[in-house]
Amino acid sequence: MSTFQAPKGTYDLLPPRSALFLRVREAMAAPAKLAGYGYVETPGFENVELFSRGVGESTDIVTKEMYTLTTKGGDQLALRPEGTASVLRAALEANLHKGGNLPVKLWYSGSYYRYERAQKGRYRHFSQVGAEAIGAEDPLLDAELITLAAQSFKDLGLTGVRLLLNSLGDKECRPAYRAALQDFLRGLDLDEATRERIDINPLRVLDDKRESVQKQLVGAPMMRDHLCEACRTYHEEVRAQLKEAGVAFEDDPKLVRGLDYYTRTTFEFVHDGLGSQSAVGGGGRYDGLSEMIGGPALPSVGWALGVDRTVLAVEEEGIDLGLPATTSVYAVPVGDEARKLLFRLAGELRAAGIATDFAYGGKGMKNAMKSANRSGARFTLVAGDRDLAEGVVQLKDMESGEQTALAPDAVVAELRSRIG
State the DSSP string of 162-215: EEEEEE---TTTHHHHHHHHHHHHTTS---HHHHHHHHH-THHHHT---HHHHH
Q: What is the dihedral of CA 28, 32, 37, 43, to 10 degrees?
A: -10
Residue 266, strand partner residues: 166, 284
Residue 166, strand partner residues: 266
- The closest of 302, 278, 321, 304 to 21, measured between CA atoms, is 321
- The secondary structure element, H or E, covering residue 347 is helix 336-351
| Binding-site annotation: residue ranges | 82-84, 114, 128, 132, 257, 261-262
Can you tell me the distance from the alpha carbon of 15 to that of 286, in angstroms, rounded to the nearest whole number? Answer: 38
* Residue 29 vs residues 58, 163, 247, 388, 413: alpha-carbon distances, Å: 31, 18, 18, 48, 34
Can you tell me the distance from the alpha carbon of 190 to that of 37, in angstroms, rounded to the nearest whole number? Answer: 44
- The closest of 210, 166, 216, 205 to 182, measured between CA atoms, is 205
Residue 283, strand partner residues: 267, 303
User: What is the CA angle 223-284-27, rounded to 5?
Assistant: 145
- The secondary structure element, H or E, covering residue 290 is helix 289-292
**What number of other Cβ atoms are within 10 A of residue 196's Cβ?**
12
- The closest of 347, 342, 336, 343 to 406, measured between CA atoms, is 342
| Binding-site annotation: residue ranges for L-histidine | 82-84, 114, 128, 132, 257, 261-262
* Residue 388 vs residues 195, 202, 367: alpha-carbon distances, Å: 82, 79, 21
- The secondary structure element, H or E, covering residue 302 is strand 300-306
State the DSSP string of 351-397: HTT--EEE--S---HHHHHHHHHHHT-SEEEEE-HHHHHHT-EEEEE
| CB 404 within 8 Å of CB 395 | yes
